[in-house]
Chains A and B, each alone.
Chain A
Amino acid sequence: MTETAPQSDGTFGDLVSRALGNRSFVIGLVITLVVVAMAAVSFFWTPFDVTRLVVADRMQPPSAEHWFGTDHFGRDVLSMIMIGSRNSIAVALVAVVIGMGIGVPLGCWAAARGGWVDEALMRFNDLVFAFPALLSAIMITAVFGPSAINAIIAIGIFNIPVFARVARAGALSIWPREYILAARAAGKNKARITVEHILPNIANLLLVQGTIQFALGILAEAALSYVGLGTQPPMPSWGRMLFDAQTLMMVSPWLALFPGCAILLTVLGLNLLGDGISDIFDPRARRRI
């Protein structure tokens, strides 16, 4: 993005004005909020009940009554997409929490401790990266049975080294700073310095990575559900809807159109949000690019 960043004075108000001036951030935030709102609303209201099968209404094209049409069981596609968003968000979010919860402490530990701990952890990271994540997720769900929970675990495991790497790199750049030296001179131990000084300073990096992994998690969940290894029917999920739509594409192409758009928009929104956040916190780094 080319807009020039306003003069930074480091206050919260300054941060907000920079955020509102950032196109990626605003568009990404709006899309993300719409998806989250859709998921929230689906808990107490959807246009139609998705557990009721109305065979008379099956495979209707989009209309005023059914905005996105109906599927082969007569279920309202819009209602299914709304409930599916809940599912996508839950899986991806918990996977991010697993990744952050384990990866960030490991990365901070490696940075603080250095030496063999650091080396061992980074080699372990290389190792996990050699497994294609989706392939391993497929194996995990194949062995332990397909379910949303196993999909979360499989995706979560592969978030761990990503966050460990980001946290370590961020922490390593903070440790040589003078205020850390001051904190050490004041007698704070490494754990306390990490919590009080390192973490707040790498929070933005973690936030950006969090949105990226969130987006990747949504894509992975959709792929797993599409091949039948993620969320199980009758719970609606975007990936599963696309699988069902595939055989019906000749007669009702809209069945494949809307769930796909939902995935695309959600992931696009999160990616823009991530780009925006990293712009806002580090305008110089981005302007060079």
Chain B
Amino acid sequence: MTIYLLKRLLIGIATLVVASLVVFLMLEVVPGDPARLMLGMNASDAQVELLREQMGLNQPLILRYLDWARGLLSLDFGRSYTYSVPVIDLIKERLVVSFPLAVIALTLSTLIAIPVGLFAAARRGKAGDTAAMAVAQVGVAMPNFWFALLLVYVFAVWLRLVPAGGFPGWSNGAWPALKALILPALALALPQAAILARVTRSALIEVLNEDYIRTARAKGMPMRAVLWRHALRNAMIPVLTIMGLQFAFLLAGTIIIENVFYLPGLGRLVFQAITQRDLIVVESVVMLLVAAVVIVNLIVDLSYAVVDPRLRARQ
């Protein structure tokens, strides 16, 4: 298990290195001179040249890459071309929206999916199972941004329970901020929950065929206890794997959903940066999100060992 985890760790690091190379090279081929972009069209060639020198743009490619990569490690992403503030400050400011959003969405998705999966698996082939899986089938096909629009229409425009968009900030108390995040989190969570519910159900059904489940039932253990205590725990490995993969989707999803709700998160930041050609912001956010995915996948690998003691012993 230790060797396995070490291998995963190495792969994670290699992923980050290659990702940084790809991101760096991709932005190298983009036409346009960042120094020229910062100074505007009226700047003289001498001024541009001076700034290029200051920004280190005249150095060879490999040196610039190493410099940039070293910066990434110390969370020094450089300065935004348009805002002229350190990128890390912009990211910190936006992370207080995106991070809670992703966490709430993941929590909601898990809280919906596991009970539905248990419910359907326990009633395999019966009406309840068929109905639950039909709903899940629709949920999988639902574009999350469209679902978001429908939620806005029903809960913000029609019922006026929550704001249709925008974010009041955490300084005005947690409740208004949470209220602004409820609909976006729900929009993100539901399609993911549909996938997770299907995976949970089929993993559980696989486990329910095992001998130890029959033994547990035979000694008189109630079905509910069998499901929660024996079946769910043994079905957790595929469920955790999918949850880890879904985190990546969720991050990408926040980018789209933040645009639906005008939330000032990382997604909005990326889009503004794209339209303003502020590429250093784009590459920083992309690297940050890739790092988040790699870390979450490592956590998932670790959690296998927690749910399955057999894996801990294996070499």
B143 touching A134, Cβ below 8 Å: no
B21-29, B44-52, B302-310 - the one binding chain A: B21-29
> Which chain A residues (235-289) contact chain B, with CB distance < 8 Å?
242, 245-246, 249-250, 253, 256, 259-260, 263-265, 267-268, 271-272, 288-289
CB distance from B12 to the nearest CB of A (A): 8
- Is A182 an interface residue when CB atoms closer than 8 A count as contact? no
Q: Which positions 15-34 of chain B face chain A at CB distance < 8 Å? A: 15, 18-19, 23, 26-27, 29-30
CB distance from B131 to the nearest CB of A (A): 13
* A268–B141 CB distance below 8 A: yes
Contacts A271-B140, A289-B202: A139 and B26 contacting too (C-beta < 8 A)?
A: yes
Q: Give A123's nearest chain B residue, CB to CB.
A: B11
Q: Does B3 contact A (CB under 8 A)?
A: no
| Contact (Cβ within 8 A) B150 A271 | no
The verdict on A138 contacting chain B, using a C-beta distance below 8 Å, is yes
Given A123-B11, A130-B297, A227-B271, answer yes or no on A264-B282 (Cβ-Cβ < 8 Å): no
Task: Determine how close the nearest CB of chain A comes to the CB of B144; give it in whole angstroms.
Answer: 8
- Give Cα A259–Cα B150 distance, bound, in whole angstroms: 12
B259 CB within 8 Å of chain A: yes
Interface residues on A, range: 35 or more
Contact residues in A for B202 (Cβ distance below 8 Å): 289
Complex-state Cα separation, A259 to B145, whole angstroms:
12
Name the prevailing secondary structure of the A interface residues: helix
Using an 8 Å CB-CB cutoff, how does the interface string of B118-145 with A read, 1 for contact, 0 for none? 0000000100000000000110111101
The reply to whether the CB of B300 lies closer than 8 angstroms to some CB of chain A is: no
Residues of chain B contacted by A229 (CB below 8 angstroms):
274
Extra pairs beyond A223-B256, A226-B145, A271-B140 (11, CB < 8 Å): A123-B11, A126-B15, A134-B249, A134-B252, A139-B26, A140-B26, A223-B145, A249-B152, A250-B157, A263-B146, A268-B138
Hey, which bits of chain B sit against chain A, CB under 8 A? Answer: 11-12, 14-15, 18-19, 23, 26-27, 29-30, 125, 137-138, 140-143, 145-146, 149-150, 152-153, 157, 202, 205-206, 209, 245, 248-249, 251-253, 255-256, 259-260, 270-271, 274, 279, 282, 286, 289-290, 293-294, 297
A-B contact list, 22 entries, CB within 8 Å:
A126-B11, A130-B290, A130-B297, A131-B19, A132-B251, A133-B252, A136-B286, A138-B252, A219-B143, A223-B145, A229-B274, A246-B149, A249-B152, A249-B157, A256-B149, A259-B146, A263-B141, A264-B141, A264-B143, A265-B141, A267-B141, A271-B137
9 smallest beta-carbon distances between A and B, as pairs: A134-B252, A260-B146, A267-B141, A132-B252, A268-B141, A142-B274, A132-B248, A135-B252, A130-B15
